[in-house]
Amino acid sequence: MRRDGGDYHMENINEPNKFMKLFSKRGMGQVVTVTIGLLVLIVVFGILNPNFFSNRNISNLLRQIAPIILIGIGQSYVLITGNIDLSIGSVVGMSCMISATLMTKGMNPWLAVGITYITALIIGVLNGQLISKAKLPAFIATLGTMTIARGIAQIVNNNYNTDSIGEAAEGFRNFFYYGKTFGLYNTIWIALGIWVVFNFILSKTRTGRHIYAVGSNIHAAHLSGVNIASTVTKTYLVSAVCSATVGLVITATSGMGTMDAGTTYELYAVAASVIGGVSTLGGQGILLGTIVGASIWGVLQNGLQFAGAPVAIRNIVIGIIVIISVLLDIIVRANKNKAKIKARAKV
């Protein structure tokens, strides 16, 4: 007489042993898949051009990947709540211009860094409040702040890129780009450090749990007493911090402020997140995947360049990879659902 015999069947499948448990962790399946993809890419590029594995290229490659990881972290936070942040690239540009302008005016570089972070955080708060309090769609709210931040980037130095930030900023430039610690460029350490902190927050704290809950079912989260406005705003603050850091890295790299720095980075960030298994529908994804996604992006850029492919070809290949990785996820999930329905139909 029992109508749900199939469920017991389901739970037997789910009975986890230690190894399977690692896989069954939210988003782990996709991470494993794309990691294999990353390894294949690395091997292929290594065969095409043995110099790919040279020390010089490896450390350059890692330094190229670092900014993608950073913006990927910010975008992943936002995507997991089911929103999107289009203002990332403009906040990168704004941070680059504000920090460089202040330094060319003779301000202490570290004070300039502080002011840069504060302005970026203001954009983050604005994004979060517009979306959670004023109920604007994230796409529209961040489209607005994207344009505003780019405007600020242009206005701070009267619509010119800045001059060189000068000798006084040598320490700043080394800290964010040129210096090395334990044989690795500092940029890489910064990205790793930020990743460790935000990965911890996302996976081990209440804030992180609430971020997943909001993305999974905002209504249920609200009824359970989760503060939606604060949770959503926090994700945009994380995104702003990551973007500002990338802006500072760019200032350090070129030694000047560039108004169009970071253009379309928000979309690279979506690509890195999505390749790594973060769902644009919210509720799903882990930051480990974002690292792998960013790495695939960087390896493709670097490897194709090494193999002599023109920019156009690189773009086409990367576009295809983004589509394939999401398609794969959809197929896997559809099969899982079919299996589930079948298991239930056996009643």
Partner 1 sequence: MDKYIVELENVSKDFPGVKALDNVSFQLKSGEVLALLGENGAGKSTLMKILSGVYTKDSGTMKIFGKTIDDMDPVKAQELGIAIIHQELNMCDHLTVAQNIFLGRELTKKGVLADKEMNEEAGKILRGLNIDINPETIVGDLSVSKQQMVEIAKALSTKAKILIMDEPTSALTSKEIDDLFTIIKRLKNEGHGIVYISHRLEELQYIVDRVMILRDGQYITSMNYKDTSLKEIISYMVGREITEKFPRVERRVGKKILEVKNLNAGKMVRAINFSLYEGEIVGMAGLMGAGRTETTRALFGVDPKESGEIFVDGGEVKIMKPIDAIKSGIVLVPEDRKKDGLCTKLSIRDNIALPNLDILANKLGIVNRKKEEEVTIRSVENLGIRLANAEVDAGSLSGGNQQKVVVGKWLIRNSRVVIFDEPTRGIDVASKVEIYNLMNELKSQGIGVLFVSSEMPEILGISDRILVMADGRITKELDIQEATQDIILEYATKFDNKMKEGKGA
Strands (E), 58-204: 180-181, 184-185
Nearest to 303 by CA among 48, 16, 22: 48
> Do residues 119 and 98 touch, judged by C-beta distance below 8 A?
yes
| Residue 209: CB minimum distance to partner 1, A | 6
Nearest to 168 by CA among 110, 85, 240: 110
Residues between 1 and 60 that touch partner 1 (CB under 8 A) = 1-4, 6-7, 10-11, 14-16, 21, 24, 26
| Residue 216: CB minimum distance to partner 1, A | 4
Which residue lies nearer to partner 1 by CB, 314 or 344?
Answer: 344
If you search the block for the tokens 């920019």, which residue do you land on?
311
Which residue lies nearer to partner 1 by CB, 180 or 206?
Answer: 206
Which residue lies nearer to partner 1 by CB, 87 or 235?
Answer: 235
Nearest to 95 by CA among 273, 239, 279, 205: 239
What's the distance, CA 336 to chain centroid?
27
Q: What does the alpha-carbon distance between residue 123 and residue 94 come to, in Å, rounded to a whole number?
A: 10
Tokens for 152, please give them.
């600020």
| Residue 135: CB minimum distance to partner 1, A | 18
77 part of the interface to partner 1, by CB under 8 A: no
Residues between 235 and 294 that touch partner 1 (CB under 8 A) = 283-284
Q: Fill in the DSSP letter of residue 134.
A: S
Number of residues in contact with partner 1, rule: CB under 8 A?
37
Residues between 176 and 235 that touch partner 1 (CB under 8 A) = 204-206, 208-210, 212-213, 215-217, 219-226
* Cβ count within 10 A of residue 319: 11
Which residue lies nearer to partner 1 by CB, 103 or 343?
Answer: 343
Which residue lies nearer to partner 1 by CB, 21 or 105?
Answer: 21
| Residue 196: CB minimum distance to partner 1, A | 14
Q: What does the alpha-carbon distance between residue 269 and residue 290 come to, in Å, rounded to a whole number?
A: 9
Task: Provide the binding-site residues for partner 1, judged by CB under 8 A.
Answer: 1-4, 6-7, 10-11, 14-16, 21, 24, 26, 204-206, 208-210, 212-213, 215-217, 219-226, 283-284, 340, 344
